[in-house]
Amino acid sequence: MKYQLKNINNMNFKLIALALFLFSSNTILSVHAEISATIKVKVFLQGAIQENGTMKTTLNEKGLLSKEFNNQNLPTNVVDKIDIELRNFANPSTIAATQKAWLLSDGSILDFETAKVPAITFPNIPAGKYFIAVKHRNHLPLMSGLPIAIGTNPNNISIDFSDIKNLYSKSRFLKLSEKATMISGDVGDVSNPPSNPRYSIDAIDNFYVSKDAKAKLQGYINTDLNLDGIVNEADVKLVQSSSDHLYNFTFPKQ
């Protein structure tokens, strides 16, 4: 009998502990409310930028974007799709959230779904500080130098990645037409060996671009580094220059 009582008491204690835990978990969740953040971005790609400071829209003019994305909502002056990321403040190598966007010739963006709103929205983000990064399928990423605070003024966040002073100090970029631009040449994941690590431009990228240039491939292809729908000598020149410098980027761990 004594033994049974002890067991019941033990069980009660566990139930109370569980209830307390659930109560405190709920309290923590209600304190860290999730909100939506709307962010405007300006960014330029080395491969697409022209002397007048705008980016070429050849992929769209050739119908390659609507073919690739099966999307009727494409804006007329679209350059390509990009990805915008929120990165963990304590450890920027961790992605907190990511959204697709359309990049326009003047460096601004439109949201991917409607192709009308000049900003992207991250729904249900825990309030806090984040770094913003921008990625493109054959360029090196860029990351903001200072974190942005989401939760204080979520509808008024914007970052201009073409202004050097907004960039993370170890970002690799090229200054063209008075703008910081993302560096072209990281051709991304390719199916055949040798495997090609992202965020570094080296002999492997060179290999794939040269191979596709020899075959004169046409279409929406990662090895088309200057985004004109053809892989040729111009793309080989770009990858050679970037791989000669061994341009690379690593998201910092803190």
Q: What residue ranges bind Ca ion (CB under 5 A)?
A: 186, 196, 205, 224, 226, 228, 230, 235
Rounded (10°) CA dihedral 51, 54, 56, 57: -170
Closer residue to Ca ion, CB minimum distance, 78 or 231: 231
User: Residue 48 in contact with residue 212, Cβ under 8 Å?
Assistant: no
Closer residue to Ca ion, CB minimum distance, 111 or 224: 224
CA distance 100 to 216: 29
Closer residue to Ca ion, CB minimum distance, 111 or 228: 228
Q: What secondary structure, in 3-state letters, does 141-170 show?
A: EEEECCCEEECCCCCCEEEECCCHHHECCC
Closer residue to Ca ion, CB minimum distance, 111 or 235: 235
Closer residue to Ca ion, CB minimum distance, 85 or 235: 235
User: Residue 243 in contact with residue 201, Cβ under 8 Å?
Assistant: yes
For residue 113, count other CB atoms closer than 10 A to its CB. 15
Closer residue to Ca ion, CB minimum distance, 160 or 205: 205
Q: Give min distance, CB of 31 to Ca ion, in A.
A: 42
Residue 208: closest CA among 226, 229, 227, 194: 194
- In 179-204, which positions are buried (b, 16+ CB within 10 angstroms) versus exposed (e)? bbbbbbbbbbebeeeeebebebbbeb
Q: Give min distance, CB of 235 to Ca ion, in A.
A: 4
SS3 90: coil
